[in-house]
């Protein structure tokens, strides 16, 4: 039997743990949905009470997705039905796809999706409002957005109206297959009250009255019950026979709670430099604009100045509540590396600025890495030029499986699936410094899981909840949805295995209050030290892991800690 003596190491503090979560990245994680269906997509948002609401697409193998919802509280407990019987959002025989999801501010959720029930080719947009119990407040299977014409409808974005309702912004377009040209593309907005009744004119308010084409919208609340919409516009561009434009520009409009256009009817110019500037495509929760917290907006956009056929650069611009440009006329550079890149997400930094997260192929051979940049309220970048590198060589067209959130304490948590199919996490502070050490934290390392489509939301006391699609039970229930909770130091919160003993407070080794469950570790225990622990009398355990970044394990003179493995 091998015997080892420990005298000093570093440790880390952890928050209270809950039995509903699981702290083992291999065997653990909480099942969100494991019905005998295949979950094909999932979006998670905060429930406003330190838990998360998950909206997902589920297919029974007949080629049709139905939409469902589940809620997990901060303790990891399922709130809406069972793991194999969640709340229905939209269930019918035609295809449907989630496009945007936002919280309603009262523990519920607004959901928008593309739906083909009226036409198998030409989709419509439907919306639904679920309350904090997961019950629909609007018509069963949702409300149809603008049924007064047969234009193609897409690019739907939602914005809470701060009165229990929501503002919906969408694009309507017509494409002439004979000439292969887009002949109509406009943006509209409609406000719905808590009961789902329209508040503005039939067909919605036209966001911009200029006769040109527009699309690619992004929306943020204006803080007064209205919305700010940024969009790509063709008014200064030629349209060639291949339906290609050479001088796209970016404009923005503010709409108040009554549906009135507050800025110039043609929209305020955000960037009208030569060549193409484009508000990046928003896929699900991507976000290309954020509120500045004072009634204005910060917009991140692709800039193709001097080369419409090259790789775009990322720039940002700030408009105040009156629509006036706050930074240089061309915007401020966020990343001008020259490599191909695509935005994963942008969020507010909580101080009037923005944090952007993107994937980029700087190698030029398909080895994507992920970067982040903070844009400060004064119009400068806060981190490394062209972005802080967070995730190296994710491989392939990496990035869609990644996500980020702020933690409520001025830090940012990033999650991703690496090239070995391990779900990992890392935190950086407001200055761009890595917080969880050189080894990224493990969320899911089950070899059969192949976790994808990661989502992360803020929870309590700097903790976060991560959800993902998981294949570990593929033979029985196809793809499922799992969740885990990370503490403020990146460790999984939850019930340890029978042999694991984890510290929950600074103290004496032989004091039960030092340990989760109140029991001092026996000789067979696998011990994880996350606090300042002192050994005052000789004891033993099977193994010890002292977790960084800071703290102590001290064995006082005259005492021994024997490690028996």
What is the chain's alpha carbon radius of gyration, rounded to the nearest angstrom?
Answer: 26
139: pLDDT strictly greater than 80: yes
Band (pLDDT 50/70/90 cuts) for residue 301 is very high
Closest CA to 393 of 418, 427, 411, 429: 418
Angle at 385 between CA 391 and CA 290, to 5 degrees: 75
The answer to the question of residue 530 being in a domain is yes
Domain count along the chain:
1
- Assign 3-class secondary structure to 254-318: EECCCCCECCCCCCEEEECCCCCEEECCCCCCCCCEEECCCCCEEEEEEECCCCCCCCCEEEEEE
540: pLDDT strictly greater than 90: yes
97: pLDDT strictly greater than 60: yes
Longest dimension (CA), the chain: 90
Q: What average pLDDT does this structure show over 525-552?
A: 86
With a pLDDT cut of 70, the percent of the chain lying above it is: 94
Report residue 477: phi and psi, to 5°.
Answer: -135, 15
The answer to the question of residue 550 being in a domain is yes
> What would the DSSP string read from start to end of 476-545?
HHSSEEEEEEE-TTSPEESBPPTTEEEB-SSEETT-GGGBGGG----TT-EEEE-S-EEE-S-EEESEEE
pLDDT at 398: 57
Q: Could you read off the pLDDT of 492-538 as tens digits, one per residue? A: 988 777 788 989 899 999 999 999 889 999 999 989 898 999 999 99
Question: What is this structure's pTM?
Answer: 0.88
**Residues 104, 153: Cα–Cα separation, whole Å:** 24
The answer to the question of residue 477 being in a domain is no
**Residues 232, 279: Cα–Cα separation, whole Å:** 6
With a pLDDT cut of 90, the percent of the chain lying above it is: 73
Report residue 466: phi and psi, to 5°.
Answer: -115, 135
Domain range for 527 is 4-8+500-563
Lowest mean pLDDT among 325-339, 391-405, 505-519: 391-405
Helix (H) or strand (E) holding 169: strand 166-176
pLDDT at 400: 63
The mean pLDDT of the chain is 90
pLDDT at 399: 62
CB burial class (10 A; 0-12, 13-18, 19+) of residue 439?
Answer: exposed
The answer to the question of residue 519 being in a domain is yes
Q: Could you read off the pLDDT of 446-491 as tens digits, one per residue? A: 999 999 999 999 999 999 999 999 999 887 778 999 999 999 989 8
Q: Could you read off the pLDDT of 43-90 as tens digits, one per residue? A: 999 999 999 999 999 987 777 999 999 999 999 999 998 888 899 999
Band (pLDDT 50/70/90 cuts) for residue 23 is confident
Q: Could you read off the pLDDT of 109-118 as tens digits, one per residue? A: 999 999 999 9
Closest CA to 435 of 425, 444, 443: 425
The answer to the question of residue 94 being in a domain is no
443: pLDDT strictly greater than 90: yes
DSSP 207: S
The answer to the question of residue 532 being in a domain is yes
The answer to the question of residue 513 being in a domain is yes
pLDDT at 300: 97
Band (pLDDT 50/70/90 cuts) for residue 4 is very low
pLDDT at 11: 31
Q: What average pLDDT does this structure show over 359-363?
A: 90
Residues 6+ apart with CB under 8 A from 198: 190, 191, 192
Higher pLDDT, 20 or 138: 138
Q: Could you read off the pLDDT of 243-265 as tens digits, one per residue? A: 999 999 999 999 999 999 999 99
The answer to the question of residue 198 being in a domain is no
pLDDT at 350: 93
Q: What average pLDDT does this structure show over 341-350?
A: 94
């Amino acid at each position: 039997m091998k015997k080892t003596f420990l005298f000093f190491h570093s440790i880390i503090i952890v928050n209270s743990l809950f039995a509903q979560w699981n702290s083992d990245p291999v065997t653990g994680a909480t099942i969100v949905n494991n019905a005998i269906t295949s979950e094909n997509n999932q979006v998670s948002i905060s429930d406003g009470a330190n838990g998360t609401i998950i909206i997902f697409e589920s297919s029974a193998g007949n080629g049709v997705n139905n939409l469902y919802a589940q809620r997990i509280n901060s303790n990891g407990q399922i709130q809406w039905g069972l793991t194999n019987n969640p709340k229905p959002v939209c269930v019918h025989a035609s295809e449907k796809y989630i496009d945007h999801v936002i919280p309603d501010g009262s523990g519920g959720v607004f959901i928008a999706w593309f739906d083909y029930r009226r036409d198998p080719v030409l989709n419509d947009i439907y919306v639904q409002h679920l309350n904090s119990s997961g019950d629909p407040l609007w018509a069963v299977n949702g409300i149809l957005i603008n049924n007064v014409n047969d234009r193609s409808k897409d690019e739907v974005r939602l914005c809470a109206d701060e009165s229990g309702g929501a503002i919906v912004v969408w694009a309507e377009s017509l494409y002439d297959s004979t000439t292969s040209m887009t002949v109509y593309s406009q943006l509209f907005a409609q406000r719905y009250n808590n009961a789902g009744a329209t508040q503005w004119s039939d067909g919605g308010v036209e966001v911009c009255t200029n006769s040109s084409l527009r699309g690619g919208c992004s929306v943020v609340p204006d803080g007064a019950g209205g919305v700010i919409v940024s969009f790509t516009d063709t008014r200064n561009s030629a349209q060639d026979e291949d339906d290609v434009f050479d001088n796209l520009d970016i404009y923005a409009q503010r709409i108040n709670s009554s549906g009135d256009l507050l800025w110039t009817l043609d929209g305020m110019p955000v960037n009208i430099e030569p060549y193409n500037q484009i508000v990046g495509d928003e896929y699900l929760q991507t976000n290309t604009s954020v509120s500045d917290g004072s009634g204005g907006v910060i917009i991140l956009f692709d800039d193709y100045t001097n080369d419409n056929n090259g790789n775009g650069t990322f720039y940002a611009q700030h408009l105040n509540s009156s629509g006036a440009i706050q930074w240089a006329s061309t915007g401020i550079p966020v990343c001008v590396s020259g490599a191909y890149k695509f935005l994963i997400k942008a969020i507010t930094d909580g101080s009037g600025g923005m944090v952007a997260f993107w994937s980029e192929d700087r190698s030029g051979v398909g080895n994507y890495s992920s970067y982040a940049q903070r844009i400060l309220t004064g119009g400068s970048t806060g981190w490394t030029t062209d972005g802080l590198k967070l995730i190296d060589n994710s491989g392939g067209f990496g990035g869609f499986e990644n996500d980020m959130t702020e933690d409520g304490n001025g830090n940012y948590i990033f999650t991703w699936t690496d090239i070995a199919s391990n779900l990992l996490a890392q935190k950086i502070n407001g200055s761009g410094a890595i917080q969880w050490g050189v080894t990224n934290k493990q969320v899911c390392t089950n070899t059969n899981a192949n976790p994808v489509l990661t989502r992360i939301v803020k929870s309590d006391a700097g903790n976060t909840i991560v959800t993902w699609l998981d294949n570990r039970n593929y033979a029985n229930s196809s793809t499922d949805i799992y969740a885990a909770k990370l503490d403020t130091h990146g460790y999984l919160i939850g019930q340890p295995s029978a042999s694991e003993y984890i510290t929950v407070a600074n103290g004496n080794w032989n004091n039960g209050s030092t340990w989760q469950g109140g029991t001092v570790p026996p000789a067979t225990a696998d011990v994880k030290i996350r606090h300042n622990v002192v050994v005052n009398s000789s004891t033993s355990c099977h193994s010890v892991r002292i977790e960084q970044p800071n703290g102590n394990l001290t064995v006082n003179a005259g005492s021994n800690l024997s490690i028996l493995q």
